[in-house]
Amino acid sequence: MEEEDEHGSIEGLLTWASQIGISDAPTTTDQPRNSLALGSSLCVSHFPHTGGRGLGAVRDLKMGELILRVPKSALMTSDSVMQDTKLSDALNRHPSLCSTQILNACLLYEIGKGKASRWHPYLMHLPKSYDILAMFGEFEKTALQVDEAIWVTEIAVQKTKSEWKQARALMEDLKFKPQLLTFKAWVWASATISSRTLHIPWDSAGCLCPVGDLFNYDAPGKEPSDIEDLGNLLSNTSIHDGSLSNEDNTTIADVEQLDSEYQRLTDGGFEEDANAYCFYARANYKKGDQVLLCYGTYTNLELLEHYGFILQENPNDKVFIPLEPAVYSSTSWSRESLYIHYNGKPSFALLAALRLWATPQIKRRSVAHLVYSGSKISADNEIFVMKWLSNTCHGVLKNLPTSIEDDTLLLSSMDNSQDFCTFVEVTKLLSFRDEVDTFLEAHNMKDKCSDSNVVLSGKTRKTMDKWKLAIQWRINYKKVLHDCISYCSLILDSLIK
């Protein structure tokens, strides 16, 4: 954040971390510590394709092994910052703020202290900017193209703005410097908290955990697809063997139970006995591998909203398509369970709901046992459902401003152009230029590209980063719909022949 000093380098951060008891193993004095390593398990490294700065294994690590301990005294929580009486007195005068607003204000308060903050070496290494949805401007929001994503972005921006307005009186009371009173500072703090806090049992806002927040994300891949597979297994068994009954008496209640248990699994947590945040290896790692942490189960839109990135292969991604009100009312499935899975397969609940909805009202009761056990009702019903699903996906894709091919071309021109002017030249060959033109106009760059040495402002570069993320997100969204269309035609082929 500020000028480099003795703590300004990442080595400085790690030295400070070990001085305050953050450790991955006891380091003996006769074992010199690698300057980028913490002790004997982890080192800070750069992983360009998986989150940039992250933690790597300095030796082979075994799954379940304790790899990092961060003592409670090192955690930045609202409680620990509030040991400052000036702050706690001010907070008492503003009792209506929620826990995340308090932590946001605490973070800015510590930033305002500069070198006097006990977390100064840590605060200096926080990212200077973020790409979470609350930071998306009008252009990047529109680039998401899909109503649901645009709506989520609008809510995120509005929520952050209103939280900032509510917290201003507290920050003025605390006599924050003018630059820390701005929305820009607030949204930065809010993004820091959204993308870096870890769960603690005593404060729903969580904690900032020096070094522990350097782990990049690994999706909980197997578990949810196991749940999906269970659903698909139930439905596909009946499709492939042609039988209309299903002997497996696993119910959706069991599936939901499994789901909630999987969601509880984490590879790090605060441990009362150790009075520390403890992290365990979630897999076996070879020396040099990046060591990852599962932050939870997120769709790509949720990852973008809370963390500012997406995964190209996200086993927990979901795409929601427009359904007629009668589909929702035909079953007791929640709306959230009616989606298309990342690999294009309809969710267990979506398939079941469509099967029931496609059955005449009068016959629904007699087929309910089949539907709820995931079985096909009849070949005709299945054909109707698959055609409807496929047509709906086609309809959604047709209504979006660009195709997946257009998006892929645009993205590759962004990635492969040596400089900005080449990018502008290359995009002149694209059939859809509206988006590029809007970008150039918004950033006053329309006539600048005759000069090949054009230097992009920081603001323009940040918009481009978010634009790229929006394009990547919409490509993934469209890919799921295309995969669903392929899935439907496979099933239709097997039923019609």
Shortest Å distance, C-beta 14 to ligand SAM: 14
Shortest Å distance, C-beta 198 to ligand SAM: 8
| Three-class secondary structure of residue 208 per DSSP | strand
110 vs 406, beta carbon nearer ligand SAM: 110
170 vs 469, beta carbon nearer ligand SAM: 469
Tokens representing 188?
Answer: 């930065």
Residue with token string 């086609």:
394
d(CA 392, CA 352): 17
47 vs 328, beta carbon nearer ligand SAM: 47
Q: State the CB neighbour count (10 A cutoff) for residue 399.
A: 11
Shortest Å distance, C-beta 127 to ligand SAM: 6
- The secondary structure of 230-269 as a DSSP string is HHHHHHHHHHHH--S-------HHHHHHHHHHHHH--SEE
Shortest Å distance, C-beta 215 to ligand SAM: 6
Shortest Å distance, C-beta 311 to ligand SAM: 6
Query: 340 with 319: CB under 8 angstroms?
Result: yes
Q: In 3D, which of 302, 301, 340, 334 has the Cα closest to residue 320?
A: 340
216 vs 381, beta carbon nearer ligand SAM: 216
Q: In 3D, which of 406, 461, 448, 394 has the Cα closest to residue 430?
A: 406
Q: Where are the alpha helices (DSSP H) in 342-457?
A: 348-357, 361-372, 379-398, 404-416, 420-427, 434-442
Shortest Å distance, C-beta 148 to ligand SAM: 21
376 vs 479, beta carbon nearer ligand SAM: 479
Tokens representing 341?
Answer: 């899975």
Shortest Å distance, C-beta 195 to ligand SAM: 4
Shortest Å distance, C-beta 53 to ligand SAM: 3
1 vs 490, beta carbon nearer ligand SAM: 1
Which residue lies nearest ligand SAM, judged by its C-beta? 51
Shortest Å distance, C-beta 123 to ligand SAM: 12
Beta-carbon contacts of 465 under 8 Å, excluding residues fewer than 6 positions away, are 131
Sign of the four-CA dihedral 207, 209, 212, 218? positive
Distances from the Cα of 5 to the Cα of 14, 118, 139, 463, angstroms: 14, 15, 38, 31
Q: What are phi and psi of 52, to 5 degrees?
A: 70, -125
CB neighbour class for 430 (10 Å; exposed up to 12, middle 13-18, buried from 19) = middle
128 vs 497, beta carbon nearer ligand SAM: 128
Binding positions for ligand SAM, rule: CB under 6 A: 50-54, 127, 195-196, 213-214, 216-217, 307-309
Shortest Å distance, C-beta 6 to ligand SAM: 21
Distances from the Cα of 423 to the Cα of 311, 410, 426, 439, 449, angstroms: 25, 9, 5, 12, 10
134 vs 440, beta carbon nearer ligand SAM: 134
117 vs 216, beta carbon nearer ligand SAM: 216
50 vs 391, beta carbon nearer ligand SAM: 50
User: CA 119: distance to chain centroid?
Assistant: 26
